[in-house]
Structure 1
Amino acid sequence: MSLTELSGGSTPEPATATETPARPARRTSPFGALLLRLHFYAGILVAPFLVVAALTGLAYTTTPQLDSILYSDQLTVAQVGDRPLPLADQVGAARNAHPEGSITTVQPGEGDRTTRVTFALPELGDKQHTVYVDPYTAQVQGQLTTWFGSTPATTWLDDLHRNLHLGVVGRHYSELAASWLWVLALGGVILWWRRRSASRATARHLLVPDLSAGKGVRRTRGWHATTGIWLTVGLLFLSATGLTWSRYAGANFGAGLDALSARAPEISTSLTTVPDEPAETGGGHHEASGAGGVVESAAFDRVVAAARTAGLDGPVEIAPAAEAGSAWTVTQVDNTWPVAKDRVAVDPAGGQVTARSDFADWPLLAKLSGLGIQAHMGILFGPVNQILLAALALGLLCVIVWGYRMWWQRRPTRADRRALAGTPPPRGGVRGMPLWVLLIGVPVTVAIGWALPLFGITLLAFLVIDVVVGAVSRRRRPAVVPTSPAPAGS
């Protein structure tokens, strides 16, 4: 939520010639005044970043359907056969079509999905070439430049959402939006709760806009606030999960996971005995090349068979060893709920499972982080996840538009004091705070600012600018000269 409670009762609504004089402004507690002013300025200044994040995130929710339209020839087969050909034949076909580079991963095709063979090349950087093979005919159906399995369209929209295609500098926009989103959402809930409690409204009125209010700021505020209440949980989720892979806050989050030993466990790929030569197989395919050098294509069939025997069903990804004499890994890659993320390490020569790591054994924080990222990307619950994210993005856009509309509706309209927008809530919240609140609140705010650096820096900037503007305003304000009372009887 953003810009909730823009008025907050701190400044009276503009009166017209036909209206009765406005009632005196309701006295606001120091905490309410401070929160209202922070919410106002943060909403005005951060909302543009949230608009960009909402629009680009809304576009990203369409990527599964967009991939199906743009890349159906590569991703799916025209006709599903009775049974797939040996994986060695499919990998060999991909190697013939793409002689350069080393194979980093192979995802065997199932149903109408093609087999994906990914090649790494130094000139591609962190991207790869993925060759798509019909698992029933071993015919190559195409090749795409991918990024961790994502198609070019998905990669483009992902970069747009994360950094606006500006690289590292662009990541600051999305981290700034995520850093302030939870502050605006929680602040709006508190302000709306205080207003509704002061008017003795029932809990139902927190979730339903006051439709009896006439046109103007009261009706806009009702839609703005109640919509924000409905979105709060989702917005807090987006803020938290977005921060986990941001540049600065994400690094602090990762350091916290390391300190708590809460990352997903690594799987050992060491082999106690390393054969001098690859095991001989009938067929003798020697085309596949892993990161550690040349390996036989038939090893893919041995490795995937061992993983299936070990209980890894559904979609899997095979990764040849990073160096010679190490085990290959097979990982479940079903990211829809319930997720399947178990992994095994397999000796490619003999087909024995040498190590195992199950998702059920991951630390709780690692599980929550992994699931949160999948839900943020819209793939955890399939189309339902996409719809929920799209609704959150559209709702956030509506809340922001209503917030700016309130700012405009509260502008002075009298001829002697016209303005383009409403005045901000008054200062003085900090000065009225009890000492014990400051002794607790300041260290907590500093700690949050350290954990979320962009939040801390921008909050400090808001405070400095506000203090400077206040000082300048007081200096320009004309001094009030006290007048002596008139003599009695004059």
Structure 2
Amino acid sequence: MSKPNVSFYNLAWRWHFYAGLFVAPFMILLAITGIIYLFKPQLDPLVYRELMVVEAGHHRQGADTLLANVRQAYPQGQVGQYLPPASAERSAQFVVHDGGRELNVFVDPYSGKVLGEQDGKQNLQAIARALHGELMVGTVGDRLVELAAGWGIVLIVSGLYLWWPRGRSSAGVLWPRLSARGRVLWRDLHAVTGFWGSALLLMMLISGMTWTGLWGKQYADLWNRFPAAMWNDVPKSDKQASELNEAHRQTVPWAMENTPMPVSGAHAEHAGHHMMDHAPAAPQVNLQQVENIADLREVEPGYSITLPTSADGVFTIAVFADDPRNDATLHVDQYTGKVLADVRWQDYSPVARATELGVMLHEGKMFGPLNQIVILLVCLMILLGSVSGLVMWWKRKPTGGLGVPPLRHDLPRWKTAVGVMVVLGVAFPLVGISMVVMWVVDSLVVRRQIMVRA
């Protein structure tokens, strides 16, 4: 009876080995960049103190005064976004597109003085976020991260199978044998942290997948549906809210990415609609009025206001809140100040709610420092798992070879395992395609080597 299990053990071992060699470098990078981004709330005011921290005063300048000061400092610049101070000791921030660069410009809200600028794409957090999301190489990077996350899920499934006690004592299963030395110790560290961390790791990988360009987009298309009635009375543009999000900067919540952007001034006597697409924005509503709308509607502090870029564009007030129940996305007509859409947590579907919760847990923001500590531990587990796996491989690797675990010739067709692999391959198409490629390469190259050696 035990024979099929032993044989399948070899197959699982082999898949785990291949997946691990591919995934480990990505996991190390994702864990390190993840830790940097995780502590953004603490790191930013430390690293950029002179830009971000101000002394609380009595009277704040109006948003339009601050905007005028920024425009004076950057006469050629295009102001894209305004972030009112999130608290009394924080500066106001403007995002300015100037000569091909994207700048974060910080202003003292009490004196109106421009405190300085930071490159929007080259600061610590933006780099960490862009590396984490797409390795800073755009679509190719996004696909690679998606592939690594998908294979990470295969790693956990095959790893749990390999870890399964099969009658051994708890030592080396539930806790590492610290008295052991060399490979046994590394193996225990690898297997035990992998087991204890597996549920959290799966949560991290699946919640992270929702950002990816291929799987994440399909997932969003499937689940991110809002009742049409919410947009019925509002003329829609062909732009989607997702255009406001970039690799290094998140503006609107995930649940809002698939929603259409409404159109400003639809009832005003403007030139034909097509002309308006290309005409510049000429808001008749000022920035302070938009900020007042946000305050009046009790939008959580920390929100941003994205300015319209065309004649039919809108002001977008958005907060991607630490507690997703405070998420808000509002679109405001630039001519009348009318709120064209106001979408909150209660409007999200159950799947969108679960996804937003997963995303905020993933970012370590839900329960303050406690959530950060848990995610930090997960990142450290990922680092330990990846490094210990690589060390084990290095210790047993023959010179001049990869050290692929040998395939037994008496392998039965193990239905459950093949089933699990097929399900994973269908659920994550990039993984499925790469599995087929791997299987072909494995059959042709590796077995030929075995034949030659024999």
Q: TM-score interval w.r.t. the shorter chain?
A: 0.7 to 0.9
1:355 is matched with 341
The reply on whether 1:197 has 2:166 as its aligned counterpart is yes
Give distance in 2, aligned partners of 1:422 and 1:129. Answer: 47
2:327 is matched with 341
Deviations 1:7-26 (A, max 9, x none): xxxxxxxxxxxxxxxxxx98
Contact 2:190 2:385 in 1 (8 A): yes
Give distance in 2, aligned partners of 1:43 and 1:305. Answer: 52
Give the direction of change, closer, same or farther, for the CA distance of 1:432–1:366 in structure 2 (3 Å limit).
same
Q: Percent identity?
A: 27
Q: CA deviation at 1:228?
A: 0.8
Contact 1:271 1:327 in 2 (8 A): no
Give distance in 1, aligned partners of 2:410 and 2:41. Answer: 49
Contact 2:226 2:349 in 1 (8 A): no
Q: CA deviation at 1:56?
A: 3.5
Match of 2:102 among 90, 108, 128: 128
Give the direction of change, closer, same or farther, for the CA distance of 1:101–1:463 in structure 2 (3 Å limit).
same
Q: Which structure has the highest helix share of the two?
A: 2
Give distance in 2, aligned partners of 1:137 and 1:423. Answer: 66
Secondary structure of the structure 2 residue equivalent to 1:293 = coil
The reply on whether 1:142 has 2:101 as its aligned counterpart is no
The reply on whether 1:293 has 2:281 as its aligned counterpart is yes
Give the direction of change, closer, same or farther, for the CA distance of 1:52–1:118 in structure 2 (3 Å limit).
closer
Q: CA deviation at 1:294?
A: 3.7
1:81 is matched with 57
Secondary structure of the structure 2 residue equivalent to 1:143 = strand
Deviations 1:120-155 (A, max 9, x none): 35x53xx633322111111111123315xxx72212
1:41 is matched with 18
Contact 2:281 2:312 in 1 (8 A): no
Give the direction of change, closer, same or farther, for the CA distance of 1:225–1:443 in structure 2 (3 Å limit).
closer
Give the direction of change, closer, same or farther, for the CA distance of 1:319–1:165 in structure 2 (3 Å limit).
closer
1:308 is matched with 295
2:128 is matched with 157
Deviates more, 1:105-114 or 1:305-314: 305-314
1:447 is matched with 426
The reply on whether 1:57 has 2:34 as its aligned counterpart is yes
Q: CA deviation at 1:230?
A: 1.5
Give distance in 2, aligned partners of 1:76 and 1:394. Answer: 31
The reply on whether 1:274 has 2:240 as its aligned counterpart is no
Q: CA deviation at 1:256?
A: 3.3
Q: CA deviation at 1:236?
A: 1.2
Secondary structure of the structure 1 residue equivalent to 2:286 = helix
Secondary structure of the structure 2 residue equivalent to 1:197 = coil
Secondary structure of the structure 1 residue equivalent to 2:65 = helix
RMSD between aligned alpha carbons? 3.7
1:235 is matched with 201
The reply on whether 1:118 has 2:118 as its aligned counterpart is no
Match of 1:330 among 317, 335, 351: 317
Contact 2:71 2:77 in 1 (8 A): no
Contact 2:224 2:349 in 1 (8 A): no
2:69 is matched with 93
1:256 is matched with 222
State the TM-score, normalized to the length of structure 1: 0.72
Deviations 1:167-203 (A, max 9, x none): 444445423321211111122122212xx1333x46x
Secondary structure of the structure 2 residue equivalent to 1:355 = strand
Give distance in 2, aligned partners of 1:116 and 1:210. Answer: 53
State the TM-score, normalized to the length of structure 2: 0.77
Match of 1:209 among 176, 181, 187: 176
What amino acid sits opposite 1:42 in the alignment? A
Q: CA deviation at 1:209?
A: 2.8
The reply on whether 1:399 has 2:385 as its aligned counterpart is yes
Give distance in 2, aligned partners of 1:166 and 1:228. Answer: 30
Give the direction of change, closer, same or farther, for the CA distance of 1:385–1:269 in structure 2 (3 Å limit).
farther
Q: CA deviation at 1:370?
A: 3.5
The reply on whether 1:181 has 2:152 as its aligned counterpart is yes
Contact 2:19 2:152 in 1 (8 A): no
Contact 2:33 2:132 in 1 (8 A): yes
Q: CA deviation at 1:214?
A: 4.2
Give distance in 2, aligned partners of 1:392 and 1:336. Answer: 19
Secondary structure of the structure 1 residue equivalent to 2:195 = helix
2:351 is matched with 365
Give distance in 2, aligned partners of 1:184 and 1:89. Answer: 55
Q: CA deviation at 1:220?
A: 3.5
Give the direction of change, closer, same or farther, for the CA distance of 1:326–1:344 in structure 2 (3 Å limit).
same
Give the direction of change, closer, same or farther, for the CA distance of 1:364–1:180 in structure 2 (3 Å limit).
same
Give distance in 1, aligned partners of 2:417 and 2:377. Answer: 38
2:412 is matched with 432
Q: CA deviation at 1:397?
A: 2.1
Larger-gyration structure (1/2): 1
Instruction: Mark the runs of 5 or more structure 1 residues left unpaired by the alignment.
Output: 1-24, 277-290, 412-417, 478-490
Contact 1:269 1:329 in 2 (8 A): no
Give distance in 1, aligned partners of 2:156 and 2:282. Answer: 55
Instruction: Mark the runs of 5 or more structure 2 residues left unpaired by the alignment.
Output: 228-253, 271-278
Secondary structure of the structure 2 residue equivalent to 1:228 = helix
Deviations 1:187-233 (A, max 9, x none): 2122212xx1333x46x98432345x744544433322111112112
Q: CA deviation at 1:80?
A: 0.6
Give distance in 2, aligned partners of 1:375 and 1:430. Answer: 45
